[in-house]
């Protein structure tokens, strides 16, 4: 089963390598990893999507937690969370089909961010299902390039750790 | 007052209580070696950097203090790698200082440049590349803290040459704040209560004890726990010495080459109390047939070990010493009279054994003689292979930190430099490296180190001119096709010892054993004893790979 991990790490050189290295060394299946600085500049936050049974995930969490630069690991799979991905798609768009493409873009509340002579670049954010759907819809026109960020996720409601602490008592 | 980086390193090492380092100089560490020249810190000059890492490791295991090794950049640093991996697998606290090319030269494929923090990433507890001399003191302090707390392990500090020349204010110890690292672990009174209850209700309990008991300094508490509960104890290879193997409740080592009675006890038990052990595959063999009737209490400081290989019913994540202190007053003494009778019966029916033959030296006999002559009070290091398993089977370790062996990584060539480290740390101890002729050749250059620093280590080579353990597997599982395991030409170890300025003795007959050992122990010089043993002797009992641990060959 796929799990979503929210990981806080020290914003230091080499941290990403340590995390990625841990996954390859222990043979865990990483599906996506997104990382960036948080509102606290010395801390980065990673969203890691990893595939495995409960025992594997338990090990992933514990092994991640052992890395000195990892501050906190939360498996948020089973709580209510918001997740988003960003995708850029360069698609074949000769003038005769542009109208159709623009309709699709509208439906998905995506945006056209570049127009070439025979191409369009489309930007779309959304959860995984939406991203998959727009990709599928644009495929018939001929996708020339595609890049996506990997999932980022955040738990709904109050700050997750504080919430957890209250629960634990 | 401002100090140079090199001065800061030396001062910080002194402040950390380091009185000896194992190392090898080179271009990138010239400024550091210049400052070491004036320092009271003793420097043991090895002959290959791998020897420095293993010696630091052996020192740490023998003394309980962190071992420190130093190497220059590039090849110096890469030569440490096996030793660092060895310390990582066995959770030994060492701090490795490596030189690095100056910061502006990093990444340009400079002379003797190697990305050692990258190379060692999967085999360190943590590592640092120091980029600012003002961070240097704090980095060293953090490295020692991380190496020695929680589950111990190696920490590497990469030191660009310009950092060792630049200056900064020196204050020690610096303020440390780790929001991301805590060695404190928690278990609840309820968990203690439940574990104590499970022990009281068990009828066939066994203690399964690993190296964690030794690194936690919990041998005394373990003894107390056993005296109270009368639960029999089996140890792993690294756990040897955590509980005296001369004690009536000791079952010796378990696992692939463990005693039959230890493996039977584990396999028929209804409760395994694992302390500082990690259910390694050399212990469990097939996991699905391992201890099928047992519930498991697992005491370990590393939460990631709980449930890693086997299902744990009662986890106790914490320092073993403290956990045992909490358990002892609460544990109910279980009713296990019948079980102890059964265990005694297994011990009587399936003792460790080998056959003596007229005119042939048996390696097991050599190990037994070493035990008898030292009364089990020596510090033993081993190489890896048959020599190691015979040492584990026939040398009954009595005290913690007296049986030093490369368990997890299984590093041939570990024993000799580890013996050097152990002897440096415990100058009054009788130190024996129980070696094989194959392993010892991997680091035999360290004889020069032992001679130079007048370390009276004893190297007992069980010489069968084979890579014996691999040959044994070929005999049993590959139709006696001895592919590349017959060493054919081994050096004359007596002459080799003498060439280095050590003492060399050859033993070919039974009656020469005792006098040779007595001479070695009395000698103030390092001694190599070449025991010419039965060539095709096997280590038994043995669990064939993939079999349950009750299915043992031989013995």
The two structure tokens encoding residue B506: 């050859």
pLDDT of residue B178: 78
- Cβ contacts of B121 on chain A, cutoff 8 Å: 17-18, 21
What interface predicted TM-score (ipTM) does this complex get? 0.89
Query: Do residues B355 and B380 touch, judged by C-beta distance below 8 A?
Result: no
Per-residue pLDDT reduced to its tens digit, B315-349: 999 999 999 999 999 999 999 999 999 999 999 99
Pairing of strands B379-382, A43-51: unpaired
Pairing of strands B527-532, B42-45: unpaired
pLDDT values of chain A reduced to their tens digit, one per residue, 169 residues: 899 999 999 998 899 999 999 999 899 989 999 999 999 999 999 999 999 999 999 999 999 999 999 999 999 999 999 999 999 999 999 999 999 999 999 999 999 999 999 999 999 999 999 999 999 999 999 999 999 999 999 999 887 655 555 444 3
d(CA B70, CA B242): 30
Q: Is B126 close to A10, i.e. CB distance below 8 A?
A: no
Biggest alpha carbon–alpha carbon distance for chain B: 73
Per DSSP, which regions of B257-373 are E strands? 271-275, 295-300, 314-317
CA distance B315 to chain A (A): 14
d(CA B324, CA B370): 33
Per-residue pLDDT reduced to its tens digit, B471-512: 999 999 999 999 999 999 999 999 999 999 999 999 999 999
Per-residue pLDDT reduced to its tens digit, B265-276: 999 999 999 999
Angstrom distances, CA of residue B369 to CA of A28, B199, B380, B460 = 48, 39, 13, 11
pLDDT of residue B173: 86
pLDDT of residue B545: 93
pLDDT of residue A166: 45
Q: Is A69 close to B180, i.e. CB distance below 8 A?
A: yes
Same fold yes or no, B2-169 and B189-349: yes
Name which of A14, A63, A69 is nearest B304 (Cβ-Cβ).
A63
Half-sphere CA count of B256, side-chain side, radius 13 A: 19
Q: What percent of chain B stands above pLDDT 70?
A: 99
CATH superfamily of the B363-532 domain = Thiamin diphosphate (ThDP)-binding fold, Pyr/PP domains (3.40.50.970)
Per-residue pLDDT reduced to its tens digit, B345-388: 999 999 999 999 998 999 999 999 999 999 999 999 999 999 99
CATH number of B189-349: 3.40.50.1220
Q: Where are the alpha helices (DSSP H) in B243-293?
A: 260-268, 281-284
Name which of A10, A22, A55 is nearest B180 (Cβ-Cβ).
A10
Q: What is the mean pLDDT of residues B513-518?
A: 98
Q: Is A68 close to B125, i.e. CB distance below 8 A?
A: yes
Query: Do residues B257 and B283 touch, judged by C-beta distance below 8 A?
Result: no
Q: Is A59 close to B304, i.e. CB distance below 8 A?
A: yes
The two structure tokens encoding residue A115: 């127009």
Q: Which residue of A has its CA nearest to B155?
A: A68
Instruction: For chain B, say whether A70 makes contact (Cβ under 8 Å).
Output: yes
pLDDT of residue A167: 44
Per-residue pLDDT reduced to its tens digit, B417-427: 999 999 999 99
Pairing of strands A29-37, A43-51: antiparallel
Q: Is A62 close to B146, i.e. CB distance below 8 A?
A: no
Q: Where are the alpha helices (DSSP H) in B134-210?
A: 136-148, 161-165, 189-201
Q: Is A9 close to B121, i.e. CB distance below 8 A?
A: no
Q: Best interface-test mutation with A: which of B304, B311, B317 has the largest number of A CBs within 10 A? A: B304
- The neighbouring-strand residues paired with A152 are A84
Q: Is the pLDDT of residue B95 over 50?
A: yes
Angstrom distances, CA of residue A160 to CA of A34, A49, A65, A157 = 19, 18, 17, 8
What residue segments make up the domains of chain B, in order of their start? Answer: 2-169, 189-349, 363-532
| Residues whose CB falls within 8 Å of the CB of residue B480, separated by 6 or more in sequence, listed in order | B474
Query: Do residues B462 and B370 touch, judged by C-beta distance below 8 A?
Result: no
Q: Which residue of A has its CA nearest to B126?
A: A68
Name which of A18, A63, A71 is nearest B179 (Cβ-Cβ).
A71
- Catalytically active residues of B are 49, 111-112, 161, 469
Per DSSP, which regions of B79-178 are E strands? 94-100, 126-129, 155-160, 167-169
CATH topology of domain B2-169: Rossmann fold (3.40.50)
**B397 alpha-carbon distance from chain centroid:** 14
Higher pLDDT, B176 or A55: A55
pLDDT of residue B239: 98
Q: Is B122 close to A21, i.e. CB distance below 8 A?
A: yes
Name which of A17, A66, A68 is nearest B304 (Cβ-Cβ).
A66
Q: Where are the alpha helices (DSSP H) in A10-159?
A: 15-25, 54-66, 95-107, 128-138
**B278 alpha-carbon distance from chain centroid:** 14
Pairing of strands A152-155, A81-92: antiparallel
Q: What domains appear along chain A, each with residue ranges and CATH number?
A: 2-75 (3.30.70.260), 84-152 (3.30.70.1150)
- Cβ contacts of B129 on chain A, cutoff 8 Å: 13-14
d(CA B298, CA B195): 9
Continuous segment of H or E residues that includes residue B312:
none
Angstrom distances, CA of residue B258 to CA of A22, B252, B351, B353, B539 = 32, 7, 11, 12, 10
Reported confidence tier of residue B183, pLDDT bands at 50, 70, 90: low
Reported confidence tier of residue B223, pLDDT bands at 50, 70, 90: very high
Angstrom distances, CA of residue B521 to CA of B240, B298, B373, B374, B455 = 23, 41, 9, 9, 12
pLDDT of residue A164: 53
Angstrom distances, CA of residue B346 to CA of B54, B229, B291, B442 = 38, 20, 17, 39
Name which of A22, A62, A70 is nearest B303 (Cβ-Cβ).
A62
Per-residue pLDDT reduced to its tens digit, B82-92: 999 999 999 99
Q: Is B121 close to A21, i.e. CB distance below 8 A?
A: yes
| Interfacial A residues in 3-62 facing B (CB < 8 Å) | 9-10, 13-14, 17-18, 21-22, 25, 55, 58-59, 62
Cis peptide before B209 (omega within 30 of 0): no
Q: What percent of chain B stands above pLDDT 90?
A: 96
pLDDT of residue A168: 42
Per-residue pLDDT reduced to its tens digit, B21-42: 999 999 999 999 999 999 999 9
pLDDT of residue B174: 84
């Amino acid at each position: 089963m796929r799990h979503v991990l929210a990981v806080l790490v020290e914003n230091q050189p080499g941290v990403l390598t340590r995390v990625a290295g841990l996954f390859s060394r222990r043979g865990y299946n990483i599906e996506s990893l997104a990382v960036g600085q948080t509102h606290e500049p010395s801390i980065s936050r990673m969203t890691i999507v990893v595939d495995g049974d409960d025992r594997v995930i338990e090990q992933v969490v514990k092994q991640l937690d052992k890395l000195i630069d990892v501050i906190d690991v939360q498996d948020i799979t089973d709580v209510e969370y918001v997740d988003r991905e960003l995708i850029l798609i360069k698609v074949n768009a000769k003038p005769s089909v542009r109208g159709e493409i623009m309709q699709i873009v509208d439906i998905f509340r995506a945006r056209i961010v570049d127009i070439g002579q025979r191409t369009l670049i489309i930007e779309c954010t959304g959860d995984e299902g939406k991203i998959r759907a727009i990709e599928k819809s644009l495929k018939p026109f001929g996708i020339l390039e595609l890049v996506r960020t990997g999932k980022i996720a955040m738990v709904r409601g109050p700050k997750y750790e504080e919430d957890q602490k209250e629960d634990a008592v | 007052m401002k100090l140079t980086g090199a001065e800061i390193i030396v001062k910080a090492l002194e402040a950390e209580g380091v009185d000896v380092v194992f190392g090898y100089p080179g271009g990138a560490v010239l400024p550091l070696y210049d400052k070491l020249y004036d320092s009271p810190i003793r420097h043991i000059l090895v002959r290959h950097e791998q020897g420095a890492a293993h010696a630091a490791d052996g020192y740490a295991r023998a003394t309980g203090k962190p071992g420190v090794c130093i190497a220059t950049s590039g090849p110096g640093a890469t030569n440490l790698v096996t030793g660092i991996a060895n310390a990582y697998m066995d959770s030994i606290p060492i701090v490795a200082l490596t030189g690095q090319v100056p910061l502006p030269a990093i990444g340009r494929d400079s002379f003797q440049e190697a990305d050692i923090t990258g190379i060692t990433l999967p085999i360190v507890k943590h590592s640092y590349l120091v980029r600012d001399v003002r961070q240097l003191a704090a980095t060293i302090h953090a490295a020692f803290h991380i190496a020695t707390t929680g589950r111990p392990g190696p920490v590497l500090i990469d030191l660009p040459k310009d950092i060792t020349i630049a200056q900064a204010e020196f204050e020690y110890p610096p303020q440390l704040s780790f929001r991301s690292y805590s060695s404190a672990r928690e278990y609840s009174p309820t968990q203690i209560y439940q574990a104590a209850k499970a022990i009281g209700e068990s009828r066939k309990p066994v203690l399964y004890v690993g190296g964690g008991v030794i690194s936690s300094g919990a041998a005394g508490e373990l003894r107390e726990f056993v005296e109270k509960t009368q639960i029999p104890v089996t140890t792993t290879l690294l756990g040897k010495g955590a509980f005296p193997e001369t004690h009536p409740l000791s079952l010796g080592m378990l696992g692939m080459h463990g005693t039959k009675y230890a493996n039977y006890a584990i396999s028929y038990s209804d409760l395994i109390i694992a302390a500082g052990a990690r259910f390694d595959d050399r212990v469990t063999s097939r996991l699905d047939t391992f201890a099928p009737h047992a519930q498991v209490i697992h005491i370990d400081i590393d939460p990631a070990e709980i449930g890693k290989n086997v299902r744990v019913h009662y986890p106790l994540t914490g320092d073993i010493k403290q956990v045992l202190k909490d358990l002892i007053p609460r544990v109910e003494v279980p009713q296990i009279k019948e079980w102890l009778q059964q265990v005694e019966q297994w011990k009587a029916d399936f003792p460790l054994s080998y056959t003596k033959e007229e005119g042939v030296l048996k390696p097991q006999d050599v190990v037994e003689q070493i035990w008898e002559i030292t009364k089990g009070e020596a510090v033993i290091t081993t190489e890896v292979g048959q020599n190691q398993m015979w040492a584990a089977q026939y040398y009954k370790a009595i005290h913690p930190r007296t049986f030093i062996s490369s368990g997890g990584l299984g590093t041939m060539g570990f024993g000799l430099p580890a013996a050097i480290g152990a002897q440096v740390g415990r100058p009054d101890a009788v130190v024996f490296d129980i070696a094989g002729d194959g392993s010892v050749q991997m680091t035999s250059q360290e004889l020069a180190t032992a001679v130079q620093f007048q370390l009276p280590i004893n190297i007992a080579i069980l010489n069968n001119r084979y890579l014996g353990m691999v040959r044994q597997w070929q005999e049993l599982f590959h139709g006696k096709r001895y592919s590349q395991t017959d060493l054919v030409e081994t050096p004359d170890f007596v002459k080799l010892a003498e060439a280095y300025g050590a003492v060399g003795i050859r033993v070919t007959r039974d009656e020469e054993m005792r006098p040779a050992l007595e001479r070695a122990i009395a000698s103030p010089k390092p001694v190599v004893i070449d025991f010419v043993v039965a060539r095709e002797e096997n280590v038994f009992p043995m669990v064939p790979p993939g079999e349950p641990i009750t299915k043992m060959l031989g013995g």
